[in-house]
Amino acid sequence: MTVVFWLTFGMLAVAALLGTIRLLLGPSTLDRIMALELVVVLVAAGIAVGMAAMRDPANVTLLLVVALLGFIGSVTAVRLAEGMERHR
């Protein structure tokens, strides 16, 4: 079972690395916001895998907060980026 958790963690880490590369490359601001949103979701998935590994439900609240904050943050950033580019 430990192998499963490490494999899943590994895949999430590689995915977060690829998302970070897109965050650095991203031609437009919207690309960067999307990449960050992806990384936030990967962090949430990592918290969930950690809970599964330790059989410890203490972090459910943290998971909820990360998921909701990620949504609010990226929606705000999208609207800000839209406003900035339109007034240019």
Partner 1 sequence: MTDVLAAVLLLSGGLICLLGAIGVLRFPDLLSRLQATTKPQTFGLLLVLAGTALRLPAEAAAGLGLVALFQVMTTPVFAQLAGRAAHRTGNVDKGVLRTDELREHR
Residues forming the site for partner 1 (CB under 8 A): 1, 4-5, 7-12, 14-16, 18-19, 21-22, 28, 30-31, 33-35, 37-38, 41-42, 44-45, 48-49, 51-52, 55, 57, 60-61, 63-64, 67-68, 71, 74-75, 78-79, 81-82, 85-86
Write down the least CB distance from residue 66 to partner 1, Å.
9
Residue 43 CB, nearest distance to partner 1 (Å)? Answer: 11
Nearest one of 24, 60, 54, 53 to 39, comparing CA atoms: 24
Nearest CA to 37 out of 88, 6, 45 is that of: 45
* DSSP structure class, residue 27: S
CB of 83 to partner 1, least distance (A): 9
Closest C-alpha among 22, 59, 15, 60 to residue 41 = 15
